[in-house]
Amino acid sequence: MVHERKYTSGRDPTFKIQSYLIELEGVRESKLTSTPVRSRQREEKLREYIQFDAAFDINNSRSASGIVARGQNGEVTVSKSTLHSNVSSLFVAKALACFEATKLGIGMGLNSVTIMGDSKTIINKCKTEVKDKSILGAIIDDIQSNKTRF
């Protein structure tokens, strides 16, 4: 598996995602108190948002998508993990995770949502109107067609 240019083998990508989701549940249960925040951070908390990430196993051409949807108050409303096979690269894995995030938002019936991920390449390709001719093109097209529903 490749993550941050470090190679590991023998671990299922879903293990890391499941561990992350369990960690998020622990953070949610502890609920830290803080002073009210004004400005943009407060406005973003009033919106529902979906976060996505992916893990990629280069040896077996598999990936796992991890998706967490949060409500207006920041509490986790839905978490989902999906396994994908025949994945050629980490970029494809991230694009598939973003696509799964858009499908989740549509399935939840959200009219307005912010979708966030750590792959600037995928996010920039989704924002542009130029047709992507790379291997990601079909997935980016699907994401762009889904984002019109929000």
pLDDT number for residue 28: 52
Per-residue pLDDT tens over the stretch 89-121: 999 999 999 999 999 999 998 888 888 988 888
**pTM for the whole thing?**
0.65
Q: Which residues of the chain fall below pLDDT 70? A: 1-15, 20-21, 24-46
Tally the domains of the chain: 1
Whole-angstrom distance, CA of residue 66 vs CA of residue 133:
26
pLDDT number for residue 44: 47
The CATH number covering residue 122 comes to 3.30.420.10
pLDDT number for residue 85: 93
pLDDT number for residue 47: 75
* Domain of 78, in residue numbers: 2-147
Enumerate the H helices of 2-89 as residue ranges: 13-30, 40-45
Residues whose CB falls within 8 Å of the CB of residue 41, separated by 6 or more in sequence, listed in order: none
